[in-house]
Amino acid sequence: MGLNIGCAAAPGQARDNKTGSWRVFKPEVDHEKCTKCGNCVMVCPETAVYLNDDAVVIDLDFCKGCGLCAEECPTDAITMNLEDK
């Protein structure tokens, strides 16, 4: 007996699929609170977060809204807000 489950996205690496369309909650960064520790960069399963010279940047084309970055931020600099669709 088979299981009736499947994969909604085509096979491939995370960067091949624009997972931003899955998002219900959107992360927003308070740059005043951010210490640029890099935790959010390390935990993001979609590699949607990166640090540039000035700030943390979230690429919303790939952010699926899982909230891991907000959970792991030591200064509560990231809040998850309902997506405006």
Minimal distance in Å, beta carbon 22 to ligand SF4?
Answer: 9
Minimal distance in Å, beta carbon 4 to ligand SF4?
Answer: 27
Nearer to ligand SF4, 21 or 75 (CB): 75
Tokens found for residue 75: 């200064």
β partners of residue 27: 80
Nearer to ligand SF4, 17 or 37 (CB): 37
The site for ligand SF4 (CB under 6 A) is made up of 27, 29, 34-40, 43-44, 46, 48-49, 56, 58, 63-69, 73, 75, 77-78
Nearer to ligand SF4, 18 or 37 (CB): 37
| SS3 letters across the chain | CCCCCCCCCCCCCHHHCCHHHHCCEEEEECCCCCCCCCHHHHHCCCCCEEECCCCEEECCCCCCCCCHHHHHCCCCCEEEEECCC
